[in-house]
Amino acid sequence: MKLKHRIYKLIDISGLQLFDPVARLFFREEPQVQIKRITQFIVIPILAFGLFLLVWQIMAPRHTTKSGEVPKPGRVLDAAKGIWTFHNREKEKSIAFIASSDEANKILDNAKNRLEEIESSLIPAQDETIANLEILEQEWRDKNISPKIKKAANIEYEINSKQNSLKTELEELAGSIKANDKNAKEELVLRLEKLELQKSKWKIELAELKGTISILESKKYPLLERAQRKKDRLEEEKQYLSVYIGILTKNRNSKVEELNKKLVDYSNSFYAAESTKVMSSAKRLVRQKTRIEKTSESQYSAAKTLPYQTLRSLLCVFTGFIIATIFAIPLGILCGLNKTFMCAFTPFIAIFKPVSPIVWLPIGLIVVGGFIPDPENNALLSIINKLPIFSSFDVNPAFLASAITVALCSLWPTLVNTALGVSSIDVDHLNVARVLNLRFRERLISVIIPSALPLIFAGLRISIGVGWMVLIAAELLASSEGIGKFVWDMFNNGSSDSFAQMFVVVFLVGGIGLLLDRIMIVFQRLVSFDETAPSV
């Protein structure tokens, strides 16, 4: 019995009420009612999402862009796997760079065997498959695509022929008109006007035909396209293994070992040197020691992958969110306690709340740039980059400007909700505090903040959602190394794979936004006195 109620309470606090009927059905509480609720809250949403995927699967190939067809769900899933594979490979390179000689040798044999397998058997086999599929593609194209292209080309030819024929006819008519034949001249003008109108219509029709021909010519045989993608993945793995083997063969430890051997030689030469060569030998010895020190501290410069950029974006949004919270809650409390302060602050809320992040970001970049003219030698950035969490990420002016933009756009919901929560505190609570002669600080900590917490967290929940939406645009414009920059890079790339990766980001951003919202719901419900606190 205790376990049952604990599960119910956990579901309630976490805001995951859709699982409540599942738990109740498990404990056999009103099975028919729970089945109905499961159908309503779980089965129907799953079916709706399945329908969405089906419509996406059907409609995607019908729309072609400069980056190719809109990717289908399966292509987006492949893109997500590719992103994760690339991340793991960069991680493996970083590990290989600092591996000991024994570890590197163990890994090296497996990598060489895999590379040999790809080069000697897998790629040639895939080339043979592609060659066979190209024959089938030509047959498929001759049967399905070429007739349509030929038909469109014939229509285009007919339109051009009619246009030239009418033009020639009117030129001949103009040449046969006498100087004093007014009616014939007027008729010529009318026919020319009709021709110009018809030419406009033909121009539109020709543009549509050219577009149709272009789409038809760009269509690919599905089996050949999949085979080509498989070969591309093998080529990518081959390229990765070549680099990986190179890193394992000459990683940091092996370089240090080589340098140490040279150091021994330089040391022996120094102690055996004559007086005329002592100075030069000493300088060479010192340079070698410096080189060894730098090499032993070096790290592999891995590419910035989407998981890394996602973590950096989360750090940036939480930085901005914390800055916003630090300012919003005290100001909200002051607005809620003092009507005069509220009246004075209302114009600022009304003016600055609707301002777009696109406006705030350039201002933030200019202000941050003024305070940090030389990022490489700035004391503030050095301190921030030495902090435990920030040390793993390169905090630069673009990061700070993005965080400030998030703060400026997300502080208003928290401020307004805090003011509302404080101003709506039960008067009896304040009267009791006065009777007990509580000082302002005690009233604030014991009465005001606890009473306003539910609405404060409601504001924080809205603020974190606003901040997450704002951040992507801010990173995109500031070229800050986060999700926004990944989207911009993929957009500029313009390939069909990049298009699919942009769809991956859509679901990634949405999923993280949902997770952040659920976390804030948990906190909101933990401090809420209302059993029906919102959870959707």
Q: What is the pLDDT of residues 246-265, one digit of tens each?
A: 888 888 888 888 888 888 88
d(CA 203, CA 186): 26
Cβ contact 487:502 at 8 Å: yes
Is the pLDDT confidence value at 80 over 80?
yes
Residue 387 one-letter amino acid? L
Q: What is the predicted pLDDT for the residue at 408?
A: 93
Q: What is the predicted pLDDT for the residue at 532?
A: 45
d(CA 12, CA 524): 12
Is the pLDDT confidence value at 425 over 50?
yes
Is the pLDDT confidence value at 390 over 50?
yes
Highest mean pLDDT range out of 80-89, 139-148, 389-398? 80-89
Tell me how crowded residue 34 is: count the other CB atoms within 10 A of its CB: 19
Q: What is the predicted pLDDT for the residue at 534?
A: 47
Q: Comparing 17-26, 314-323, 430-439, which segment has the lowest mean pLDDT?
A: 430-439
- 116: exposed, middle or buried (C-beta count within 10 Å: 0-12, 13-18, 19+)? exposed
Nearest to 481 by CA among 299, 306, 322: 306
Please give the C-alpha separations between residue 240 and each of 84, 100, 504, in angstroms, as whole numbers. 14, 20, 23
Residue 353 DSSP code: T
Residue 335 one-letter amino acid? C
Q: What is the predicted pLDDT for the residue at 351?
A: 92
The alpha carbon of residue 316 and the mean position of all alpha carbons in its chain are separated, in whole angstroms, by: 14
Contacts of 290 (CB under 8 A, 6+ apart): none
Cβ contact 216:145 at 8 Å: yes
Is the pLDDT confidence value at 67 over 90?
no
Residue 494 DSSP code: -
d(CA 314, CA 319): 8
- Which residue's structure tokens are 């862009």? 65
Under the banding of pLDDT at 50, 70 and 90, the label for residue 212 is low
Contacts of 146 (CB under 8 A, 6+ apart): none
Under the banding of pLDDT at 50, 70 and 90, the label for residue 317 is very high
Please give the C-alpha separations between residue 479 and each of 323, 377, 441, in angstroms, as whole numbers. 21, 21, 44
| Tens digit of each residue's pLDDT (9 = 90 or more) over 479-534 | 888 899 999 888 888 777 888 899 999 999 999 999 998 888 888 777 765 544 44
Nearest to 405 by CA among 330, 460, 485, 466: 466
Nearest to 237 by CA among 390, 67, 116: 116
Provide the percentage of residues in the chain whose pLDDT is more than 70. Answer: 94
**Which structure tokens are listed for 450?**
């606890």
**Which structure tokens are listed for 525?**
């419900």
Q: What is the predicted pLDDT for the residue at 530?
A: 53
Residue 172: half-sphere exposure toward Cβ, Cα within 13 Å: 6
The verdict on domain 306-526 having CATH code 1.10.3720.10 is yes
**Which structure tokens are listed for 107?**
């890994």
Q: What is the predicted pLDDT for the residue at 213?
A: 66
- Quick one: average pLDDT of 435-448? 79
Please give the C-alpha separations between residue 197 and each of 157, 166, 175, 460, 480, in angstroms, as whole numbers. 19, 13, 22, 61, 52
Query: So where are the chain's domains?
Result: 2-62, 101-226, 251-297, 306-526
